[in-house]
Amino acid sequence: MFWKKRPADEPKEPMDLPGSLRGHADGDPVRDALASILRTLGELSLPTIAVSREEFVLSCDRLARAILVGPSKLEQEQSMDLKHACGQARSTVRKQRQAESKEYAAHKEGATIIVADLVSNLKTALAQRSDGDAEVVRQLNSIEQAVSIGNLEEIRRVSSIAASGIRKMLSEQQARDEERLACLSQKLVEMKSELDEAKAEAILDPLTELTNRAGLERALEDALAASRAGASDLTLYMIDIDFFKKVNDAYGHPAGDEVLRKVSRQLIRAFPRKDDVVARFGGEEFVALCRSVGEEHAPMLAERARASVEKLLIDTENDTVAVTISIGFAVHRRGESGAEILKRADAALYEAKRGGRNRCMAAP
């Protein structure tokens, strides 16, 4: 025995304690230490597949109690004494530690496999980038080396370093990507502006800067669609400069171009609304499209345009030129196509010119 021997004059222990446990009343430090170790092992144990943590804690507590105060009545009936209790404690702790070691080894192996797979994928991803960080690749190689050795502490250390490097690389990459995105956005804005300009130039007449014939066809289709959808009026005016060939012959083509430009500006003033479209149809012919204009107001607008051009005096290099215009107009009929309304307006223009020019004529 390692505990103190009871003095001869000390009273005997109660008879109900087993002989193997007598003497604990003196506070045997060996038993106290053993019981404390058992309880600590229980508290710090890990759950395993074989034994739950709660079950092992209860086993350790029961064995510690048996060591300190003696076995229970049932345990006494099963001949449980201190030696038996210690042997059972040893067996229980051994089984628990073996189970913990086995599961630790399995978790360690699983963790190293996961880390190795992650490192491999990261290296593959970096290799595919033209701007992959060589320092990060070196750190990933260090993790692979630590994984091959199986040193968890080293894996943790180099993984922490690599994580910092990857965060830095990603932060720098994000900054570069944002800069590239900003540049790309600016280029897209510039390209859109250039495209808009190109589209505008594609439907503009370079001499008069009015909508050209292609633009007129598009505008006419839009106006017809809006007229059909809203059952609103639409009037088309065909306009021709009277005796324009004589202007070219008498004053030259530069003077003729100036006449075309000045008449174009005057027509824009005569049809000033946002939805009005004034286009050069070809040569000295023009077309004006006026939405929401019906038979009541169409003649008035035609006359206003004719009179404004008649008052116009155009200075050329050699002289001042005055011109007049003839106008034929047609109010859109329900179901009429663009070609049909153009044909009716053109026929009305022909009648205006045949009637003496410098006049307006409505299509029947």
294-303, pLDDT tens digit by residue? 999 999 999 9
Mean pLDDT on 158-186: 79
Mean pLDDT on 22-50: 70
Please name the helix (run of DSSP H) or strand (run of DSSP E) that holds residue 314, with its range, or none: strand 313-315
Gap between the Cα atoms of 243 and 251, Å rounded: 13
Gap between the Cα atoms of 44 and 340, Å rounded: 97
Comparing 67-76, 206-215, 350-359, which segment has the lowest mean pLDDT?
Answer: 67-76
How many domains is the chain partitioned into structurally?
2
Give a yes or no: residue 202 inside a domain.
Answer: no
Give a yes or no: residue 243 inside a domain.
Answer: yes
Q: Residue holding tokens 């155009």? A: 314
Give a yes or no: residue 44 inside a domain.
Answer: yes
Predicted pLDDT of residue 215: 92
Mean pLDDT on 274-283: 94
Mean pLDDT on 15-28: 45
Kindly report the average pLDDT of the chain as a whole number.
Answer: 79
* The last residue of a domain, from among 107, 128, 149: 128
Range of the domain at 117: 1-128
Say whether both 217 and 341 belong to one domain: yes
Give a yes or no: residue 142 inside a domain.
Answer: no
Predicted pLDDT of residue 348: 97
Predicted pLDDT of residue 198: 60
Q: How confident is the model at residue 272 (pLDDT cuts 50, 70, 90)?
A: very high
Predicted pLDDT of residue 74: 46
- Decide if 153 is catalytic: no
Say whether both 355 and 241 belong to one domain: yes
Say whether both 217 and 343 belong to one domain: yes
Tokens (6 digits) for 295: 């038979």
Mean pLDDT on 237-265: 94
Predicted pLDDT of residue 190: 80
* Beta-carbon contacts of residue 64 (< 8 Å; ≥ 6 apart): 34, 35, 36, 38, 39
Give a yes or no: residue 190 inside a domain.
Answer: no
* The last residue of a domain, from among 77, 95, 128: 128
Catalytic residue among 43, 284, 296, 310: 284
Give a yes or no: residue 10 inside a domain.
Answer: yes
Predicted pLDDT of residue 83: 64
Residue 332 has pLDDT above 70, yes or no: yes
Give a yes or no: residue 196 inside a domain.
Answer: no
Give a yes or no: residue 148 inside a domain.
Answer: no
More confident residue, 257 or 165: 257
Say whether both 220 and 337 belong to one domain: yes
Q: What would the DSSP string read from start to end of 327-360?
A: EEEEEPPTT--HHHHHHHHHHHHHHHHHTTSS-E
Comparing 24-28, 267-271, 275-279, which segment has the lowest mean pLDDT?
Answer: 24-28
Residue 11 has pLDDT above 50, yes or no: no
Q: How confident is the model at residue 66 (pLDDT cuts 50, 70, 90)?
A: confident
Residue 291 has pLDDT above 80, yes or no: yes
Which alpha helices (H) appear in the chain, and where do they start and end? Answer: 29-43, 53-69, 73-77, 82-127, 134-149, 152-202, 213-230, 244-251, 253-270, 298-310, 338-354
Mean pLDDT on 183-198: 77
Contact 284, 244 (CB under 8 A): yes
Mean pLDDT on 150-176: 75
Say whether both 112 and 248 belong to one domain: no
More confident residue, 249 or 53: 249
* The last residue of a domain, from among 86, 107, 128: 128
Say whether both 217 and 353 belong to one domain: yes
pTM, full prediction: 0.51
Comparing 13-27, 162-176, 226-240, which segment has the lowest mean pLDDT?
Answer: 13-27
Q: How confident is the model at residue 15 (pLDDT cuts 50, 70, 90)?
A: very low
Report the percent of the chain where pLDDT is more than 70.
73
Phi, psi of 174 (to 5 degrees): -60, -40
The CATH number of residue 277's host domain is 3.30.70.270
